[in-house]
Amino acid sequence: VSLESLLEEKIKELTKCGDGCPSPVTKTLSCTSIKASGRLASCPSGMAVTGCACGYGCGSWDIQNGNTCHCQCSVMDWATARCCQLA
C-alpha cells in the first residue's frame, strides 16, 4: 500500500467517516412540520419533536411514544408536530 492510501484508510477509520460522508462541521439543524387531522401528529423516524401546535387555539399538549404530539383539549380538529434533525 502507498502512504497516501494508508493515510486515507486510517483517517476514515478514526473519524468513523466513510467515502462521501458529509462533513460534521457543515451539519445544521433542519426542521419541518407534520400536520394531521385529529389530536395526534407524529414525526418521521430519525426526527425529534421539538414542539406541537393544536387546533381550536389549544396550547396544552404532551408527547406520546417519544415522537407523537397529543393535543389535550376536549375538542380537537388538527395537530401539528414540529420535527427536527441534524442534516
Which of 32, 85, 80 shows the shortest CA–CA distance to 59? Answer: 80
Count of alpha carbons within 13 Å of 46, Cβ hemisphere only? 5
> With binding defined as CB under 8 A, does residue 34 bind its own copies?
no
Pick left, alpha or beta for residue 5 (phi over 0 → left; psi -120 to 50 → alpha; otherwise beta): alpha
> With binding defined as CB under 8 A, does residue 16 bind its own copies?
yes
> With binding defined as CB under 8 A, does residue 86 bind its own copies?
yes
| Of the candidate residues 34, 41, 42, 49, the single one contacting its own copies (CB under 8 A) | 49
> With binding defined as CB under 8 A, does residue 5 bind its own copies?
no
Whether the Cβ atoms of residue 44 and residue 85 lie closer than 8 Å to each other: no
> With binding defined as CB under 8 A, does residue 65 bind its own copies?
no
Residue 37, SS3 per DSSP: strand
> With binding defined as CB under 8 A, does residue 7 bind its own copies?
yes
> With binding defined as CB under 8 A, does residue 37 bind its own copies?
no
Contact residues: its own copies, CB under 8 A: 3-4, 6-8, 10-12, 14-17, 21-31, 33, 35, 46-63, 72-73, 80, 82, 84-86
